[in-house]
Amino acid sequence: MRLTAQAWLLGKHIRHHPSSHYDARPEGMEIDILVVHGISLPPNQFGGNYIDALFSGTLNSNIHPYFADIVNSRVSAHVLIRRDGEIVQYVSFLDRAWHAGFSQFQGRERCNDFSIGIELEGCETIPYEPIQYLRLAALIRVVQARWPAITAEHIVGHCDIAPTRKTDPWASFDWTHLRQLLNN
C-alpha cells in the first residue's frame, strides 16, 4: 500500500469511490490526528453498498426505514475498511472529509480541519475482524510516514473527540490489539 502525490491510496484490496462530501482544509493546516470510527448500514448489518451510497449522497431512503433519518446527511470519511478487509477511499487525505462533526481534540475544535477519518465496518455488539486490524495498522503506517505528527497518542476514537454525542468505535474495538500491531 502506498500514497500518490495527491494522497490517494494505491495497492491491493483498495478501491476508490470518490465522494462530493468534502472541501478544502484551512490554509496551512497540519494533519495531526487520525480518528477511528465504526459504521454499519443498516445498523448491525454488514455488506452491501449502503455506506458508499451514504458517503456519495445517493442513499435510497426507501430501502430501509433507518435510511429515512440519514438520507440527507452530508457526511464522508477518508477511508472505510470493510469486514472482508477491502479498503474504500472516498476523499483524498489532503482534503477535509466530513466525518467528525462537532468535535474537539486537546482544546482544538473542528477536528475535520486537521484529522484523517477512518471508518471500520462494524457495530457495538460484534467484534471487528482480524483483517480489519491488519489493514488499519498498515494504513496507519502509510499515513504516519507522510504525516509524522500522527503519533500513537494522536490515534483516537470518534468517542474521544465527541464524547457527548458519539460512542464509536465502541467497546467492540480492541485498542490494545491495534497498538500491538503498530508496535511490531
List the catalytic residues. Answer: 119
Measured between alpha carbons, how far is residue 149 from residues 30, 82, 114, 140, 141 in Å?
8, 26, 11, 12, 12
**Position 103: which residue type?**
S
3-state secondary structure of 137: helix
User: Quick one: cell of 51?
Assistant: 455506506
CA-CA distance, 46 to 120, in Å (whole number)?
A: 11
The phi-psi region of residue 45 (left if phi > 0; otherwise alpha if psi is between -120 and 50; otherwise beta) is beta
Show the beta-strand stretches assigned E in the chain.
Answer: 2-3, 9-10, 14-16, 22-23, 33-39, 79-81, 87-89, 96-97, 104-105, 108-109, 115-121, 155-157
3-state secondary structure of 37: strand
Pairing of strands 33-39, 79-81: unpaired
